[in-house]
Structure 1
């Protein structure tokens, strides 16, 4: 039987376990140019050191027109 603590291989990547942290906005974690801040890196490092096998990064601006905020649909 497969356990959550078992490694998993997805294509060329292998995660140490099957625990995944979903993308969640962590507040103002991007600078005025839309780049992740040190705060964002530190937060995700804590998640990784805590034992999560896969971390999906939160929303970030990729279009200069929408940098600095989430665009309402």
Structure 2
């Protein structure tokens, strides 16, 4: 029974060390990227394009969610 508890504790400690190592690497990567952004090395990208939406026919159903604008009947 003591050997089983020892093995479980050992596996737990190894998992903790691996988790901490990965977390520190991620933190350092974020810090490195943050410094690049502050230095202006990373330039935001913009995407241009057109969106076309069409809706034909009669629609019925329930609309759920938050409406953040006006709804016009027979809008074009």
* Same fold flag (TM > 0.5): no
Higher relative contact order (CA 8 A, sep 6+): 1
Larger radius of gyration: 2
TM-score by length of 1: 0.25
Higher helix share: 2
